[in-house]
Amino acid sequence: MRTDRFLIGRVTGAHGIRGELKIKVLTDNPSRFDKMKTLRLYRGEGEHFAELSVISIRHMGDKGIALALTEEIRDRDGAEEMAGAAVEVFADERYPLEEGEWWVDDLLGMTALDHSTGEELGCVSEVIPTGGNDLYVIRDKGGRDHYIPAVKEFIADVNLDRKEIRISLIEGLWEP
């Protein structure tokens, strides 16, 4: 289900005794937390849980953890109560992308076409981050998954308006 909110982190617990929230960063732009004035937390099926005013955000090195001190939570017990909550932002709060970059949620469900023939290959069912280049999972009409590296050699075109992605196939790339 698509919403107008996007997950950027998850509260994993407390850090220290002052009520700092320990947040697992789930965005490839961790510095976006540095400018946040408010943390909106959600639980379960996207139910609004809390809105917290940020005093400070700091990062635990390159561990993918942000520590947030808020006005509303002043002790460890209060921070522990937030564990498991999703940190989400609205669509207009997402950071701008560079040319040739797309949001994963925009790619999901796109029709994948063979760039040479225009033949429909399937649809994008998942994007897997690998640390290097992402893999686009294309599910064909038979339900089989095909893993396409998200590099310009294979991804010929992405058209958000038409919800189409054109793939340059080479021998062996599409075979099961």
List CB contacts of 19: < 8 A, sequence separation 6 or more: 69, 70, 73, 74, 75, 76, 78, 79
0.95 exceeded by pTM: no
Residue-wise pLDDT tens digits, 99-133: 878 888 889 999 999 999 999 999 999 988 777 78
3-state class (DSSP) for residue 103: coil
pLDDT bracket for residue 3 (50, 70, 90): low
What local confidence, expressed as pLDDT, does residue 176 receive?
56
Report which DSSP code applies to 35: G
Domains identified in the chain and CATH numbers: 5-92 (2.40.30.60), 104-167 (2.30.30.240)
The tokens 């002052």 sit on which residue?
A: 18
